Amino acid sequence: TIAMASIAKTYEDSHITKSAADPRQYRGLELKNGLKVLLISDPETDKSSAAMDVHI
């Protein structure tokens, strides 16, 4: 897909530093334009959100 063509690198859960007690799943992406993305999956929550940090 077009979205997958934009991804330069992926980082799976095992490559992301987190507490051993943290049950959430993580996945990191780096897009071809240099934007870094961290996806977090928490099946225990009923909320969702998004945030962006822009360094200018």
Query: Is the confidence at residue 1, as pLDDT, over 60?
Result: no
Cβ atoms of residues 39 and 27 within 8 Å: yes
pLDDT tens column, 8-56: 888 877 788 889 999 999 988 888 888 888 889 998 999 988 888 887 7
Strand, helix or coil at 38?
strand
Query: pTM value?
Result: 0.69
Long-range contacts of 14-22 (CB under 8 A, 24+ apart): none
Q: Token pair of 40, please?
A: 């977090």
With b for 16 or more beta-carbon neighbours within 10 A and e for fewer, the 8-37 pattern comes to eeeeeeeeeeeeeeeeeebeeeeeeeeeee
